[in-house]
Structure formats: C-alpha cells, structure tokens
Structure 1
Amino acid sequence: MPGVAATAVASAGVSADEQTLQTVTVNARRRSEDAQTVPTAMTVLSAQTLENQRLYRLQDLQQAMPSVNVAFMHARQSSLSIRGLGNNPASDGLEGSAGIYLDNVYLGRPGMAVFDLLDIEQLELLRGPQGTLFGKNTTAGVLNISTRGPSFSPEGSVAQSFGEDGYVQTHASVGGPLSEQLAGRFSAYRTRENGYVENQYDGHTLGSGTRQGLRAQLLFKPHEAFNLRWIGDYNEEDASTGTRSLFSTGPTINGVNRYEQRAAAVGATLANGRRVNLDAEQSVKVFQGGTSLEANWTLPNDFTLTSISAYRWWDFTPRNDDELNVPVMYNVGQSARDQQYSQELRLASPLGERFDYVLGAYYFRQEMRNQVFTDYGPLADTWNGTPQGALNNVYSLGEGHIDTDSYALFAQGTWHLTPRLDFTAGVRGSYEVKQARVGRAAPVGGAAVSGAAAAVRAGRLGAYDSGELSVYSFSPSALLSLAYRFNDQVMGYGSLSHGEKSGGVNLSVASAPVAGADSLLIGSERANDVELGIKSSLLDQRLLLNANLFWTVVHGYQTNAYDDANLTSYLTNAGSVRSRGLEFEATVLPARGLTLNFNGSYNDVRYMRYPDAPCPAEVALRPGAPASCDLSGRAVVGASKWIFNGNGTYEWDVGQLRPYVNASYAFRSQAVGTVDDSSFAQMPSYALVNLSTGVRGDLRDGQWDVSLWLRNAFDKTYYTTLWNSPNGAYTGVLGTPRTLGVTGRYDF
C-alpha cells in the first residue's frame, strides 16, 4: 500500500542468489511500481548504497546522482538544484524550484532536510517538472526521502563510528510489534566533529559542531484493508557550519585591489584556504521537528484512499563574523522561524484495468518570520568607504513575515492503449495567496551625525515599512507522456510537461526604500520540458541501462542577486533559462559478488535572456560602471556541464565471514560560482574518491559489520558554494578534507 513501510531495495543490490538485480519499487506516481516501468527520468539510492558510500548529508548526494547540485553553506543558505535549475538559497519568501519531500510531506524550506540521513529506506530523485502529482509545484524536480517504517517483525540496528578531526557518530534504531495490530519504531542519532577550518585568530577550528535527532513511529494495522502510520521527529544542530573561506580578493583595477586596500586600512590580516582569521563568533543553531499521520484505506473494488496530515516547524539562528580579525562588524545575518501545515487526500484506482488513475486535493499553509540584523563595529566606515560616523557602532534590525495558503486539485491517468503502449495525462491547478510585510526599525547606536554621514545612514539603515503586500497566483501544471514496451526488457518513452510555481516576496528591505515596495515582489516561474528516454533490463537481469534526453525552457527564472550596499542577497526574476542535455545510469553484475554502478550527465544551462543582471566585481567597481549587466547567453550559476559518478562493491565468502571492498568516484566540471558570473568566482572542476573495506558475519539472529573507510582519499580541496563579499571579494564554503575512520555496526 502506498506510503507504508517502503518496499524498495538497493538499486545496486542483487537478489538472494547474487545473480540478478533486484526490483526497485518507487512511489513516483503515488502508487507502488517497478522503477523500470515508470516513464520518468529518476535515480534511486537505497539504504545500502547510502551506507556503502557513507552519504549521510544532503550536500553529499551530488556525489551519487546525475544532474544534481547542492549549494550548501548552512541550513538556511542551502538549495537543491536539478539540471542547473533551483540555485536560489536563502529565499525565505519563496519555495525552491526543486521540491524536497520527507515521508510524503513537502518541506517548505530546504534547510528542513539538513539533518543526518539515517534510518532511510531509500531516496528517489525525479528530474523535470513533477507538479501534477506532488504536493507543491516543482519546476526542476523532486527529491523524495522515505524513512524505514515500523514492522511486525522485531528488528533493530546500532552503529558507532570514529574518525579524524574528532568525528564521532552514533545511531541506533529498534522496532517491532507492540500488539497484534500495533507496531512501533524508534531511531536516534548524534554526530560530533571538531571541524577542519583553522581560525588563526584564536587557534580554534571551525566548521565543527553537534547534530542530533530522533524519530518515533507507530503503525496501526487492524486488518489488511486499513493502516495508519504516525511519525514524530526532532532534530537540532549547534555548530560553526557555514564558515566561509576567502576564495578570491577580486579584481585589481587601475593598480588597486579594493578588498586588499581596505583590509589594510582597517588593519586586517587575510587568510585563505582552510584558514580564516575571525575575531567574532561564527555559529548556527537549528531546532526543528514535525509530525505526520498517514492513513490508507483499501476500498471496494481495490480503490485506495490516502490521507496525509502533517505539521512541521523550523527555527534557525546564526551568528556571522565579517570575515576579518578586526571589528568591522560584530554580527550579521538573518534568523528564520517557520511553521507549516499540510493536508493531502488521494484516491488511486486499482491497477490492471484498461485505464488507471490517481486524483486528489492538497492544502498547504506556511507561516515564515525572519529578522535581518547587522551590528557594526568601530571600523565599519573605513571598510565600507562611507563617511566617518555613518555606520560605526550602529545596530540595524529588520523584520519580515509571509503567510502562504496554497490550494490544489490534481489528477493523472494512464490509458493502456495496447498491451505495449501507454498514454499518460496529468493536470494540477494550484491557487496561492501570499500575505507579507517587510520592515526595518530606525538604526540605534553610533554617534550623532549630519550631512553626508546622516544621508548614508538613512539610506542604508533608515526606518522602512512596506505596508501589507499580497501575491495572488494560479499555477497550472500538466503532463503528456507516451511509453512503449518494445519487449519485456526494453521500454521507450517521451513526454511533454509544464510546471509553474508562484512568485514570492523578498523579506529583506534591500533597495525597496528607493525602488518602492513593488520591487520586493517576485513573479512566477514557468517551465516547459521535453523528454525522450529509454529504460532497459538486459542480460538476464544482470544489466540495467537507462538514458534520456531533455530540453527545458524556464521563463521568469527565480534566482539570487547580491546588494553590495546593504550586504544582503535578494531574489529576482532572471528572465529566461534553457537547460538541455543527456543523462544515463547503468548497473551491472559482471561477476558473482561484484556490483558496478555508473551515472552521469551532460547539462548545458544558459540564460536565454537576462538583460538586467547584477554586474561582476570587475565591472561594478570600475568608474562609471553600469547599474546592470547583460548575462544573456552565459552559463547559469552552480551548474556543472559534466557530471560523472561511479561506484563498485565486491563481496566474497571466506568461511563464515564475508569480506568486502567499496570504492566510489565523483567528478564535477567547472561551474559558475555566483550569479554575476565573475571571472573571479569560477568554481574549479574536482573529483572525489571514497574507499572502504570491511567484513561481515552472522551473530545469533543478526549480522555484525566492521569497516575501515577513507573519504576524499586524495584530500582534494573543493568548494560546495561561493558567495559575494564586500569590496569585490568572493568567499566560499569548503568541502570536507580527507577523513579516515572506522565503523562498527550490528543489525538484528
């Protein structure tokens, strides 16, 4: 039944006799189906695949999936993009282009998924617009996360890991029957690490901290025709995640590098790479949780009715340094408080008829509150080039809120025109109302000023109230698809789809006092997509080979720009974007005990039209620089043209023991680092290698496993995201260095 204890198995797994690939069951079309029969480009990662490659965080998934980029700084400034679409982190007043779902519940903020991915059943990545069946319109795709559900058979797992840089991870789960009709499951984890970025100011390491959480579940199943699954979870983080390292000091113009010049003027000592020089605290605190209730009824004639009710909340509080070892700013950042409610009803017809369908209704309510704060120090004016007294020792606080009500009706049906030919059509209509208000209090502190200094203070930090803002939008989605089974092993498909998601509101004041409150409003994003693909299971189920071509055009693409004057990012519509390319996946069993997985993508993502883009530092800092630049024809931020991932597992028997080795390789080509496409913010290509070896054995009714693992084996320095900084510089968040560790695990 849909939604109850997931039935998927390892995409790289093998059957009991280790000679054929197992079937992978997915809920991509809101009913349980063999992934190879679903005419949609998708990648499925099983729990065993995640464990083999030690993929425990959202930002690690791009090492195993094609066409995926995770721009990660910390829980608030993170975004998932698919095929180069969706690089809009920190968008408090807007949903992402790529939707993330946890146990059939849409997560309103990407940061809600920034916790350790433990006790996971499987991950499904669906590429292309998916709005006809998934709760919120998604123009780029969907990441569907399914956790392990309760079982009426006793089971459990406990694991302990130790690694370099103080890495300690503990996770455990236990479940089983509580009565003949009730089963439960409880899971918990705690991860601690010392960090890998040295702060030269005090000798401490940053990028460290603690993450921990728990999940409790109950499954009530009085008979085969009804089941009810309750889930409650809580996660928290206290860390210095998001510490930015200096990537580039930017351009030198007429013999002067502004960033270096002003750093010298305030007496700052610069550091780069895995070293920073910060005189103030760098930290993030995240608290989040939620609960959901999913009910499934099997009605007469095998119809299935599903109800999913959910509530989630998310609190994020940062403390950010100014990246310098002198008091330019004591603290700067944005905190966020979010809560959401959702209700979904679905009716699924029985399979096996000439026509089968899924239809339903969806309601989503989100309440977002944020605060934008800047606490300037005594050197602020020297650093910012403003008149003395304008910003020194001044504190500014802005607040914003946005309430969203979303209503949708949807339906998707498949006509089995012949025993081999299927035609699918889907439609969703979503109506959304967003009510918002953005304001900023008058600045406090600082010396009394007049003239130019007073004008600068008022212009940058003056009191502002947008008044009530409203966004009303109707967002249709549609799908047409043909699938033809050439034989029992090979299926071809083609599809046309339209995805559309509503606009939003910038919750930062930015330039609104000058440009007007309407400048805070963001228009809708609309995507049209064409797909051609093939799925095959060959060589007596020993080779899985899938490939697809795609061409997507997005109008009103929503992305981030940077306001240097107010030191904040803001959302904007970047005109039109075209994403086109090729994706492939292969899994092969060349010999007993050996499994090889490969996937990759070629993805050309460019702005078709973006005439009013922000200018890169090498243009913006020149005398007489234009107010905007034309990026039409340029590559979209964060999208690597070439991605390739490969991994292999070999396991053999030695008496009662089963030794194994795992190896994975992940390559990403160069990518644009910031939306302005500066030549000083180009993310270099990189490749990561992860290795592990271990041995398994049976103990009583369970299995023990001890492994030695090495992540980033060749200690490659790479960045997960780049960011604009003041005075033309660019900073970035570094990926984890080489880490050696050991894990002991017992499953029973």
Structure 2
Amino acid sequence: MTMKTIRLAATASVLPFAALFASTAFAQAPVPADAAPAEQAADAGAAGPGDIVVTARRREESAQGVPIALSVLDGKTLDGTGAFNVARLQQLQPAIQFYSSNPRNSAINIRGLGAPFGLTNDGIEQGVGFYVDGVYIGRIGVATMDFIDVERLEVLRGPQGTLYGKNTTSGALNITTRKPSFTPEGQAEFSVGNYHFVQAKASVSGPLSDKLAVRLSASGTRRDGTVLNTSGLDLHRQDNVGARAIVLWKPTDTLDFSLSGDFNVQNPLCCVQYYARTVPNAKYTALANGIGYKPASLNPFDRVTDLDAESNSRQEIGGASLVSNWDFGPATLTSVTAYRYWDWKPKNDRDFVGLPITTISQNPSQQRQFSQELRIASNGKNTIDYTFGAYFFTQAINTQGSQVQGSRASYWLLSAYANNVLTVGANAANPAVLNGLTSTNAIRLSNQSAAIYGKLNWAVNDRLHIQPGLRLNYDKKTGSYNSVVSINNGTYNYSITAAQAAVYANNAAQNPVTGATSPINQVTGTAVPLAVYRDQVKTLAPLYYTPTFSDWNLSGDVNVSYDFSRDIHAYATYAYSFKSGGINLSGIPFAADNVTPDYTKQTVAPEKVNHYEIGLKTQWLDKRLTINLAGYWTDISDYQTTVNGQAVSTIRGYLANADKVRSRGGEFDTSFRPSDRLSLYFNGAYTDAEYVRFTNAPCPPEKSGTCDISGQVLPGVSKWSFSYGGEVNLPVGAGEGQIYAGYDGNYRSRFSSNPSPSQYMYINGYSLSNFRLGYREGTKLNIFAWVRNAFDENYFELLTSQSGSTGLIIGQPADPRTWGLTVKTSF
C-alpha cells in the first residue's frame, strides 16, 4: 500500500491576515499509514506521493516547494498520540514550549520566544498567535480546551506578521476543524484508562439541502487527580465538556458562508504547586522549624500535599464566527467576523504550604473580544501574485482580584532573617497584625488594534521567487488598577484607598481630618499604631494607577526561494517585526519605603525583532525520505519579561523590558517510509536563547536585590529537544484489516524555570515514551491500547518560588504513567 496526498485547504482555514500564499505554506508532516498514491507531477512544487498538498495560492502544490518552516499534524495523528490539547503538543513538536500553572497562567513559545515565562499579565500581547478556524484567540488560556473534531493543526515557526490578523513575532498555531459535508457521515470515539479516565468524542455531518450542510461535534473528558491532598481530595483532575456546530451555505460554486459556534466548560480541581526543595540556609526552613511545621512529604513525586485552601480552575469558553469567501475570477475576497468570550473563575493556595499564610490569591476574569478581517488574494499562478487585507481587533477584560492574609501571615512575613538567625519581633508574634488583611483589586483593560498589510509573490522565473511584505499597525491599550486594602479582625479594623494611603506616605504627615499619622481603627476610634500600620502596608499596600499605551508601527519581511529541482528547495528570509508595547495590570512594585509606587513601571516598551532564517527542503527515494533543515537567528530589543522582586504585594510579578535577547538555532524534520508497512520520523531542535544584556534584573531566590544576568539563558528553553517514533503494521485477512504498533518518544534537555536563572530552579532533562497497539479496518474501525509516559518518568512541568524571599521552591509535577483503551469508528 502506498501513500496518498493529504489535501490541506489553507484558504478554508481563513487565518486572520493569513491568505497563506507563496511565502507562508506548509512543511512536511508524518503521513498516515493507510495513505494511497498521488499522481506524479512534473513541475517543482507540484504534488507527488507522500506530499502534503496546499491550495494557498488557489492551486494545489506541494508544501515542500513553499518556503517556510512549518509542521502539520492531522486529526488522525493527534488522536493516535493522545495529543487532545495544546499541553501535549510539545511532545510532538521540538520547537514548541508550553508551560502552564493553570489554564489562565499558560504560555506557548516557539524557539524560546513568545510570552514571558511565569504568571500571566493581561496587559501584553502574545508572541505566538493562536487561531481556531481563522479566529485569533486573545488570551492563551483558551488554548487549554480539548480539541474537538480537528482536521489538522499547523505550527508555523518564525515571525508571521505580514499575513496574520494579529502580529506574531515568533510563530503561530492554527487549528482547523472539520467542515460540514454534503455526504452524510459520522464519527464516534470512546476511551477509558487508569485514574478513572473517560473520554468521549462524536461528530455527525450531512446536507440540509443541496446548498446547505451542517456539522455537529461534542467532546467530554473526565479523570481523577494525580495528586492527593491530606484533606482527602485528589487534585489535578480533568473535567472538560465542549460542543461545536458549523453550518455551511454554498449558494453558488464561487460563494460560500460558514457560520460556526462553540461552547466549552472546564471545571477541574487543579492546578497545584507544592514543596519541591529549598535553597541552602533558607528562611523557610527556620520559619517551619520555629513552629514545628513539616510538609506532607519532602519528596514531591510522592504526589501528596497538605494545601489548606481550595484549588480550582473553572473556565467557560465560547464564541461565534462567520467566514465568507467570494471567488470572482482573478481574485478571492474573504471576510472573517468573530466574537469570543472567556470567563475564568479560579481558586488557589498561593502560599503553597499547609499553613494559613496567604489564604486567598485569585483573579476571576471576564474577557470579550471582537475581530473583523477583510482580505483579497489573487487566484491562479501569475508572474506577480498578491494578498492585501485589513484587520480590526478589540478586547475588554474585567478582573476582580483579591488577596487575603491568614493567621500565620504575621509570623511568616514579618519575622526577620539574617545571618541564619530568625528574629520574631512583637508584630510577627501577633497574629492579629496581618490576620484578615485583604487587598481587593478592580482591574480593567481596553485593547484595540488595527492593521493593513500586503504581500507580493514575484515569480522571476520558474525557479526563483521573491516575496516582500509590509504591515502598518496601530495599537492602543488603556487600563486601570485599583487596590483597596482593609482589615477587620476585631483588633484592627479599617479600610484604606491609595489616595488615603498617600497622606501617610512618609509616616509623618497628619491626616487633615483626623490629625492622625496612620488610619483610624473603626472600633476603638484611635489611630492604628504606626509600627503596625507600617507592617500592614508593607505587606499589602493600596494602589491606584491608570496606564495607557498607544503607538504606530511599520514592519515587513522579504523571502527569496529557489527550486533546484522538483524535490530540492531552498529559501532565505529576513523579517523586521515587533510586539506591541504593554501595560502592567498585575500591580507595580514599590520604592524602598514600601509605600511609594514606582509609576515608571506602568508600561513596557514594544519589542523590536530582527529575524534571519535559511532553510532547505528535500525529498529522496521517490519521495519516501524527507529531510528538511532550517537555521535562524533572532535578535530582540526591549524584550518583555515578567520579573518578581519577591515582595508579597507583587505576588504575581510585574512586566519589565530586558535590553536585548537573542535566540538562534537549527531544526530538522525527517520522515522515512521504506515500505508500506513501516513509517519512521525523527525531528529535532537546537535552541540557544539568552539575555544578551539585562543588567538590572531581579536576583534569583538565593540572592537579593538586582543582578546582572547578561549572557544567561532565557527561562523555559531546552537547548536540545527531539521527537521520534514510528509505526509498523501487518495485514489481517483479505480486506483492509491491519494490526499495528506505534511508538512516540521525545526528549528535552534541562531548562531554567525562573526568569533570572537559579541553580536551584533548573528542571532536569527528561525523556518520555508512549506506546500503542491496535487493530484497524481503514477508517471504519480502530481499536487500540495505549500507554503514555510508559516508564513513569518523574519530572516537573515548572518550578517557582514562594513570595517573600523565603527560599522555598515549589513545583508542579507532570502526569505519571497513564494507560487505557480507545475505540473509534466512522460511518
């Protein structure tokens, strides 16, 4: 049995600003084992056996002949490898890094670049664009939803600003779901596994008339948690439900409309981080010993914890979009109109230990976004092809933050520690000083972005193509952060705003009304003792500021490609790109007096990106062997990063600009099908990403103050990353029956899990192995058993540090070994 051509209609996906023609096409991906032959084509770039075919320039052509580093995973590959959400995608794609402490605090990076590593700050853009059926998703937390009825997933590497709705400096992920069919069809899938894992997926499609078709899809996932709390609850559960509907209307052969809507709810008990290790001579150790506290286990891979606050990550995701395409001969006009919403309702134990220190630290949030894209792209194969478009995006985020200190907060946060000696003063020994101290935060963001773009593809001759592109962009962000601090525990009772706190900023000025130098206790009518007030405001200070940012930006790229033959293609790209400036919406730091806000930290400057890339795409042995290579160098000025000075008042960290960052490296993608019974792949990435110059970075937890971390590595980036595997099959009977066995493995070398590298916050390298064994009959039936993380590798997804400079390192362990059985049928 030979391979078939996988036809990827890039125009149907309708990426915002992605009229994916010559310069943005698709790279080689693994070919399904049950593929069939394609017709041979004579010209370079045409489809042959084993090729992925794109219609990005309104004609079928091989992805191998189109110049960009891109990987494609079809729905079958995603299902077979168990990659049912983005979190598992990095196991298949070496250039991707995905990190998540919970759905909202998630980041997708490509080649080490994209979003700051750490807790989310809504005031900045993503560097990696995330799209579902052509619609840009404004917050990466939405990416954690289960994949529903996916046709393919595309990973583009490098800047994509001249053809995408939102500018993306390091790449893009595009999910295309299956479209309605005018032939009745359906699919159903059911999986069970350990930890009481149950997952069901189903979709049906068919015509409502000769011009109208519909597709309905649904998915549900449940699983017990992999971490046990001493309270008896299991944590890190999965509990996801989603549905999608698409209606396709084709009034003529040249005009079509797709109206889609989706709804997803996730209600898991996750995500938790707990004791992993401590730095030497840590304040944490002295504090814990001072009250006889011990965590549930000193081995985090015992998977037990004693967190004493609720944990949950409930989110509701939904939206609707209308995509229209009109082919009027020389060109096609496309419109994408979309509305999306996201409601986030978290619960966290943000002190990470089984003590009532910070009993609440959460930021429930509601996002609404609207986007409109218009694009015109030439049809056919011309000497000069073009794409022109306009894009508008608006977003509003409303967040209600809160942080509450508990009865152990005074001892934990106010005790002094110097020269390995713990000193517990009078206020530290008095629980009432901080017990119930509360910061209530109202946070708002209004974000507008508009752009026009254009890209040309000049065919100098049959082999040489030059493709320049330009983008003019305007961004405006306005926000507000208003934190009111209160305490009401019977001993101390008052509420204070930022304006009121400013009266006492130097702790000497008198309130003109009361004549006091500190707030008035509403119960006793007397001023709160000055030493007590100082410790309270040092812990949680009232804060109010209204940051704004707006700017125009002109960026562009040029790509030159040359086809040496039908099977050997080379390209070179230069891109000048940018990521919009941002505003700090997670609080800003205070000056040394702990009462004066540092208003210079309200905004961060735009990132400026210079990107260089070369690539070579080749196929051999009648296209059964594919070898693709890419090398790149990316320089970023004013790199946007999250920093945390370990102050309790900025528990989520704040944004800052590092002077200069560089990422450089190489990638290879290979696949080999020596026979119809065996397919193999081996992909790899070498990523050298570092701070070229960052002289005033916050120090890692084992130090204090600011540090020069120039020349040190960026967080979250493994220098070496590989994915590898294959599948073998044997025929059964005279029909389409096959017994098959598959293996997928990946390896990542160690990486830093802190913005400022710390020897105590590196995650060691690890390798994972996934196996599957099954029986299938074409597309009608597929039954297979699977095991993931087969050798039960213990590793952390991330490490972070407890606020307050205690020296405690907490971690989030990845899933242990899981196994199960999947049955899938099509009709």
Q: Tell me whether the two structures share a fold, i.e. TM-score over 0.5.
A: yes
Are positions 1:571 and 2:596 aligned together? no
Radius of gyration: which is bigger? 2
- Residue number among 626, 633, 636 corresponding to 1:551 in the alignment: 633
Task: Check conservation: 1:12, 1:596, Cα contact below 8 A.
Answer: no
For the residues of structure 1 that align with 2:257 and 2:32, how far apart are their CA atoms? 30
Q: CA deviation at 1:2?
A: 5.1
**Judging changes above 3 Å, is the alpha-carbon distance between structure 1 residues 469 and 87 closer, same or farther for their aligned structure 2 residues?**
closer
Task: Check conservation: 2:105, 2:120, Cα contact below 8 A.
Answer: yes
Task: Check conservation: 1:12, 1:597, Cα contact below 8 A.
Answer: no
The Cα offsets for residues 99-119 of structure 1, whole Å up to 9 and x where unpaired, read as: 111111111100111111231
The equivalences for 1:314-713 within 5 A come to: 314-321=342-349, 322-385=351-414, 387-388=427-428, 389-446=432-489, 447-448=491-492, 449-466=528-545, 468-511=546-589, 514-565=596-647, 566=649, 567-620=651-704, 627-655=705-733, 656=735, 657-697=737-777, 703-713=780-790
Amino acid across the alignment from 1:403 = S
Which deviates the most, 256-265 or 598-607?
Answer: 256-265
For the residues of structure 2 that align with 1:572 and 1:741, how far apart are their CA atoms? 45
Amino acid across the alignment from 1:678 = S
Are positions 1:715 and 2:715 aligned together? no
- Quote the residue 2:807 is aligned against: 728
For the residues of structure 1 that align with 2:570 and 2:273, how far apart are their CA atoms? 46
Task: Check conservation: 1:137, 1:477, Cα contact below 8 A.
Answer: no
3-state SS of the aligned residue for 1:40?
coil
- Quote the residue 1:137 is aligned against: 167
For the residues of structure 1 that align with 2:729 and 2:251, how far apart are their CA atoms? 41
The Cα offsets for residues 389-431 of structure 1, whole Å up to 9 and x where unpaired, read as: 4422222111211101111000011100011000000111110
- Residue number among 42, 45, 57 corresponding to 2:73 in the alignment: 45
Q: CA deviation at 1:48?
A: 1.4
Task: Check conservation: 1:673, 1:721, Cα contact below 8 A.
Answer: yes
For the residues of structure 2 that align with 1:108 and 1:704, how far apart are their CA atoms? 38
Which deviates the most, 587-596 or 684-693?
Answer: 587-596
- Quote the residue 1:93 is aligned against: 123
3-state SS of the aligned residue for 2:755?
coil
Task: Check conservation: 1:399, 1:507, Cα contact below 8 A.
Answer: no
3-state SS of the aligned residue for 1:135?
coil
Are positions 1:13 and 2:32 aligned together? yes
- Residue number among 156, 179, 188 corresponding to 1:149 in the alignment: 179
The equivalences for 1:175-190 within 5 A come to: 175-190=205-220
For the residues of structure 2 that align with 1:105 and 1:31, how far apart are their CA atoms? 23
Task: Check conservation: 1:707, 1:742, Cα contact below 8 A.
Answer: yes
The Cα offsets for residues 320-372 of structure 1, whole Å up to 9 and x where unpaired, read as: 11322222232212222111100000000113110001110000001012232
Task: Check conservation: 2:109, 2:127, Cα contact below 8 A.
Answer: yes
Task: Check conservation: 2:588, 2:597, Cα contact below 8 A.
Answer: no
Q: CA deviation at 1:86?
A: 2.1
3-state SS of the aligned residue for 1:687?
strand
Q: Which ranges of structure 2 fall in alignment gaps of 5 or more residues?
A: 1-8, 15-24, 40-47, 416-426, 493-527
Which deviates the most, 93-102 or 579-588?
Answer: 93-102
Task: Check conservation: 2:10, 2:56, Cα contact below 8 A.
Answer: no
For the residues of structure 2 that align with 1:21 and 1:677, how far apart are their CA atoms? 47
For the residues of structure 1 that align with 2:756 and 2:582, how far apart are their CA atoms? 22
3-state SS of the aligned residue for 1:457?
helix
The Cα offsets for residues 424-445 of structure 1, whole Å up to 9 and x where unpaired, read as: 0011111011111111013232
Q: CA deviation at 1:5?
A: 7.1
- Residue number among 260, 271, 275 corresponding to 2:285 in the alignment: 260
- Quote the residue 1:125 is aligned against: 155
Task: Check conservation: 1:269, 1:324, Cα contact below 8 A.
Answer: no
**Judging changes above 3 Å, is the alpha-carbon distance between structure 1 residues 26 and 72 closer, same or farther for their aligned structure 2 residues?**
farther
**Judging changes above 3 Å, is the alpha-carbon distance between structure 1 residues 58 and 5 closer, same or farther for their aligned structure 2 residues?**
closer
For the residues of structure 1 that align with 2:70 and 2:810, how far apart are their CA atoms? 33
The Cα offsets for residues 244-302 of structure 1, whole Å up to 9 and x where unpaired, read as: 132222x22xxx3211222233443213232211122111110110111000000133x
- Quote the residue 2:22 is aligned against: none
For the residues of structure 2 that align with 1:316 and 1:265, how far apart are their CA atoms? 38
**Judging changes above 3 Å, is the alpha-carbon distance between structure 1 residues 18 and 294 closer, same or farther for their aligned structure 2 residues?**
closer
- Quote the residue 1:197 is aligned against: 227
Amino acid across the alignment from 1:269 = K
Q: CA deviation at 1:547?
A: 0.4
Amino acid across the alignment from 1:601 = A
CA RMSD of aligned residues (A): 2.0
Task: Check conservation: 1:267, 1:326, Cα contact below 8 A.
Answer: no
For the residues of structure 1 that align with 2:368 and 2:162, how far apart are their CA atoms? 24
The Cα offsets for residues 644-696 of structure 1, whole Å up to 9 and x where unpaired, read as: 10120122211042111110110000001110211110010000000001001
3-state SS of the aligned residue for 1:259?
helix
Superposition TM-score, scaled by structure 2 size: 0.86
For the residues of structure 1 that align with 2:346 and 2:59, how far apart are their CA atoms? 40
Superposition TM-score, scaled by structure 1 size: 0.95
The Cα offsets for residues 680-738 of structure 1, whole Å up to 9 and x where unpaired, read as: 1001000000000100136xxx6111110000000001222222213122222221110
Which deviates the most, 505-514 or 605-614?
Answer: 505-514
For the residues of structure 1 that align with 2:36 and 2:723, how far apart are their CA atoms? 26
For the residues of structure 2 that align with 1:117 and 1:222, how far apart are their CA atoms? 30
Task: Check conservation: 1:214, 1:235, Cα contact below 8 A.
Answer: yes
For the residues of structure 2 that align with 1:5 and 1:405, how far apart are their CA atoms? 24
Task: Check conservation: 1:150, 1:217, Cα contact below 8 A.
Answer: yes
**Judging changes above 3 Å, is the alpha-carbon distance between structure 1 residues 514 and 31 closer, same or farther for their aligned structure 2 residues?**
farther
For the residues of structure 1 that align with 2:633 and 2:453, how far apart are their CA atoms? 25
Amino acid across the alignment from 1:686 = Y
Q: CA deviation at 1:553?
A: 0.3
Task: Check conservation: 1:491, 1:535, Cα contact below 8 A.
Answer: yes
3-state SS of the aligned residue for 2:665?
strand
3-state SS of the aligned residue for 1:574?
strand
- Residue number among 3, 7, 12 corresponding to 1:4 in the alignment: 12
Q: CA deviation at 1:192?
A: 0.4
The equivalences for 1:241-320 within 5 A come to: 241-249=270-278, 251-252=279-280, 256-270=281-295, 271=297, 272-273=300-301, 274-301=303-330, 303-320=331-348
Amino acid across the alignment from 1:35 = A
- Quote the residue 1:624 is aligned against: none
Amino acid across the alignment from 1:691 = F
Task: Check conservation: 2:446, 2:479, Cα contact below 8 A.
Answer: yes
**Judging changes above 3 Å, is the alpha-carbon distance between structure 1 residues 384 and 31 closer, same or farther for their aligned structure 2 residues?**
farther
Which deviates the most, 147-156 or 390-399?
Answer: 390-399
3-state SS of the aligned residue for 1:239?
coil
The Cα offsets for residues 192-214 of structure 1, whole Å up to 9 and x where unpaired, read as: 01011121x22321101311110
For the residues of structure 1 that align with 2:724 and 2:793, how far apart are their CA atoms? 17
For the residues of structure 2 that align with 1:135 and 1:730, how far apart are their CA atoms? 40
3-state SS of the aligned residue for 1:92?
coil
